[in-house]
Amino acid sequence: MESKHSDDQIGRARVQDSPELEAYYKELETLGAGALWTVANDIEPWEPKSNSVPMLWKYDDLRALVLKSSELVTPEQAGRRVIYLVNDKRKDVAAAVGWLYTGIQVTRPGESTSAHRHRASALRFIMEGSKGYTVVDGNKIMLEVNDFVITPNSTWHEHGVEEDGETCIWQDGLDIPLVNALEANDYAVYDGKQPLTAPINHSPMTFGGAGLIPVDTIWDKPYSPLFKYSWKNVYPNLLEVAKVNDINPFDGILMQYSNPLTGGHVMQTMGASIQLLPAGFKGKAHKHTGSFVYQCAKGKGYSIINGKRFDWKERDIFCVPSWALHEHHNLSETEDACLFNFNDLPVIEGLGLFQGKDYLENNGHQI
Ligand SMILES: [Fe+2]
Ligand SMILES: [Fe+2]
């Protein structure tokens, strides 16, 4: 059955205003009520509609200001010393896109924070530095550039950099706007530092190997027992996959970070994936529901989002709003490019809200 997209047709609200109706609406308003047909076409769009705009945050522009934050305030004063990236159209909810928050956090050698937890889930993608670490529910995990780390819903977590390390900068991703929209967020501060309950790197060394899981694993948590996905394993994996698989015309080689026990998303509300765009790759355009925050982990290229070109290189961050047409291009003819993203797909998919459409005009490329 073909669908029509005109508000003139039967089935859509098409009532003409009249003095009698205006008076009627006013009377309803005094009772905290309203006539659905006056708002129906707005609150029920024909297709998914995003309030966010595509945006790109250039790391070269931001880096100095991010570092400056470490001269202006201590982690103790700030709680979390983070510069957050906010969408021009989502300032009211502090979102980078849709219901997702993102920020850039800097930690100097020898600095550490006290632990806290919140109902919002969090993740990190490491941008630079060495000997940074995070402690998640008593598990201390060392961080390297391009590692992906999770601190799920309500886990105690704290971060720091060892004395002999180098200043660390990482991207934080949280679902704070979503959890706030659902009016379900909370926050607690731990008194001091968490005691370590496992050897350092226990989680990645136990669950991040060759597809092996200890047979006596008892894990009843709704998130991945693997807290860190190491770039030193992820990138070679992408290259292996690319050798023996067709390149997807939209996404190149797109791989989801997964819970090794279930194969599902790493957390309940936010997912993440990494994609490799082979040298010379010119992705075709499509759109789908779900909000996405990207960071370029390697190489350089550009994305066309709703007809506008955004050039990116390593460490730049950009967003693709729900239902925005997007295509990714690698600008190098010799080197691959890699894009990390985190998203709200576990929510979108879990609630049955995922849909997509390929762009068929102009051989799949936007003008
Ligand atoms: Fe946190
Ligand atoms: Fe896509």
DSSP string, 344-360: SHHHHHHTT---EEE--
Residue 155 pLDDT:
98
| Cβ atoms < 10 Å from Cβ of 9 | 9
What is the whole-number distance in angstroms between the Cα of residue 118 and the centre of ligand 1? 6
Residue 152 pLDDT:
98
Q: How confident is the model at residue 272 (pLDDT cuts 50, 70, 90)?
A: very high
Which tokens go with 176? Answer: 């704070």
Residue 5 pLDDT:
77
| CA distance linking residue 238 with residue 235, whole number of Å | 5
In this prediction, residues 6-30 reach a mean pLDDT of: 92
Ligand nearest to the backbone CA of 252: 2
What is the whole-number distance in angstroms between the Cα of residue 42 and the centre of ligand 1? 36
Residue 13 pLDDT:
87
CA-closest candidate to residue 338, choices 365, 302, 289, 300: 300
| CA distance linking residue 246 with residue 280, whole number of Å | 15
| CA distance linking residue 136 with residue 217, whole number of Å | 18
This prediction's pTM: 0.96
Is the pLDDT confidence value at 239 over 60?
yes
CB under 8 Å to 162, separation ≥6 — which residues? 109, 110, 131, 132, 133
Which tokens go with 214? Answer: 């200890």
Ligand nearest to the backbone CA of 248: 2
In this prediction, residues 96-118 reach a mean pLDDT of: 95
Is the pLDDT confidence value at 171 over 80?
yes
- φ/ψ of residue 158, rounded to 5: -150, 160
Which tokens go with 315? Answer: 């460490």
Ligand nearest to the backbone CA of 105: 1
In this prediction, residues 315-335 reach a mean pLDDT of: 98
**Sheet of 326-330, strand order:** 308-313, 300-305, 326-330, 286-288, 356-358
In this prediction, residues 101-111 reach a mean pLDDT of: 96
Give residue 291's Cα distance to chain centre.
Answer: 7
pLDDT digits (tens, 9 = 90+) for 175-203: 999 999 999 999 999 998 899 999 999 99
Pairing assessment for the beta strands 116-118 and 101-107 based on DSSP bridges = unpaired
Residue 210 pLDDT:
86
| Residue 252 region by backbone torsions, left for phi larger than 0, else alpha for psi between -120 and 50, else beta | left
SS (HEC) of 273-296? EEEEECCCCECCCEEECCCEEEEE
In this prediction, residues 129-147 reach a mean pLDDT of: 98
Ligand nearest to the backbone CA of 287: 2
| Cβ atoms < 10 Å from Cβ of 150 | 29
Residue 194 pLDDT:
94
| Residue 307 region by backbone torsions, left for phi larger than 0, else alpha for psi between -120 and 50, else beta | left
Residue 10 pLDDT:
86
Ligand nearest to the backbone CA of 343: 2
Which tokens go with 232? Answer: 């030193």
| Least confident span in 76-80, 169-173, 249-253, 259-263 | 76-80
Residue 80 pLDDT:
84
What is the whole-number distance in angstroms between the Cα of residue 157 and the centre of ligand 1? 6
What is the whole-number distance in angstroms between the Cα of residue 119 and the centre of ligand 1? 9
| CA distance linking residue 296 with residue 42, whole number of Å | 36
In this prediction, residues 128-135 reach a mean pLDDT of: 98
Which tokens go with 312? Answer: 């990116």
Residue 2 pLDDT:
61
Residue 38 pLDDT:
94
Ligand nearest to the backbone CA of 80: 1
Task: Find out whether 163 and 111 touch, Cβ atoms under 8 Å.
Answer: no
What is the whole-number distance in angstroms between the Cα of residue 290 and the centre of ligand 2? 9
Is the pLDDT confidence value at 4 over 80?
no
| CA distance linking residue 314 with residue 329, whole number of Å | 14
Task: Find out whether 28 and 34 touch, Cβ atoms under 8 Å.
Answer: yes
The mean of the pLDDT values for the chain is 96
Distances (CA, A) of 115 to 112, 141, 144: 9, 14, 21
Ligand nearest to the backbone CA of 157: 1
What is the whole-number distance in angstroms between the Cα of residue 306 and the centre of ligand 2? 12
Residue 1 pLDDT:
54
